[in-house]
Amino acid sequence: MKFVFASHNKGKIQEVQEILAPFGIEIEPIPADFPEIEENGTSFEENAKIKARAVCQATGLPAVADDSGLTVDALDGFPGIHSARWAGPEANDHDRNQLLLEKLLSVPEEQRGAQFVCVAACVFPDGRELAVRGQCRGTILGEEHGSGGFGYDPVFCVPEYGCTFGELASDVKNSISHRARAFTALGSALRTLLQEGE
């Protein structure tokens, strides 16, 4: 099974390839010159489907996309669907982390709950669509720890492991993360769907 994955993010592509490989699912990234897809949905589900539909329509191939982000309790779920863009178009991962930490400066440790959310969507050329959600609870630390992963990983602490996503080994992260949970559910659903069609 081969799908086009609506992402240029190398870290995300590798992560998703590792998660889906056991299901016999191969993904290839969209071409480097693929135009930017406008994510104008109001939820993770809508944005994931917008991206998958655009890639499926442009390539004529089954497409997979995800929309993910960090929702922080003390910020009423912000940055949420704006996680990648709220710090400005030129901001990098470190800039976004620093801005988040500044916003939480006066928030005590016990009120720094947060969760990573990921919705993975798949769209087939025949119009079939599928979307699944994965979540992972944690807390936001006061500074970055670890150089692994990407995005908000260095500030997101997983209590049961006592460390951040940025410090976890990739195989452990890929078994517990929001993206792991969403894409594992998607892989399972796709395998069932395709077996039914045989």
> Could you report the per-residue pLDDT of 70-98, keeping only the tens digit for each?
999 999 999 999 998 899 989 999 999 99
C-beta separation of 5 from 52 below 8 A: no
Per-residue confidence (pLDDT) for residue 108, from 0 to 100: 95
CATH number for the domain harbouring residue 190:
3.90.950.10
Domain that holds residue 65: 2-196
* Structure tokens that stand for 186 in this block: 């998607």
Given the residues 33, 66, 67, 76, select the one marked as catalytic: 67
Phi and psi, residue 136, nearest 5°: -145, 120
Question: What secondary structure letter does DSSP report for 128?
Answer: -
C-beta separation of 181 from 20 below 8 A: no
C-beta separation of 29 from 13 below 8 A: yes
Q: 151: part of which helix (H) or strand (E)? A: none
pLDDT class for 166, splitting at 50, 70, 90?
Answer: very high
pLDDT class for 198, splitting at 50, 70, 90?
Answer: low
Phi and psi, residue 151, nearest 5°: 65, -130
Say whether pLDDT at 120 is over 60. Answer: yes
* Alpha carbons 84 and 174: distance in angstroms, whole number: 20
* Structure tokens that stand for 110 in this block: 């016990």
**Residue 11 one-letter amino acid:** G
Q: Residue 125: is the preceding peptide bond cis (ω within 30°)?
A: no
Say whether pLDDT at 8 is over 70. Answer: yes
Alpha-helix runs per DSSP H in the chain: 10-20, 44-59, 93-103, 170-176, 178-196
Residues 6+ apart with CB under 8 A from 91: 99
Give the residue among 57, 3, 66 at the shortest CA–CA distance from 29.
Answer: 3
Whether residue 67 lies in the annotated active site = yes
63-67, 87-91, 125-129: lowest mean pLDDT where? 87-91
- Name the domain count of the chain: 1
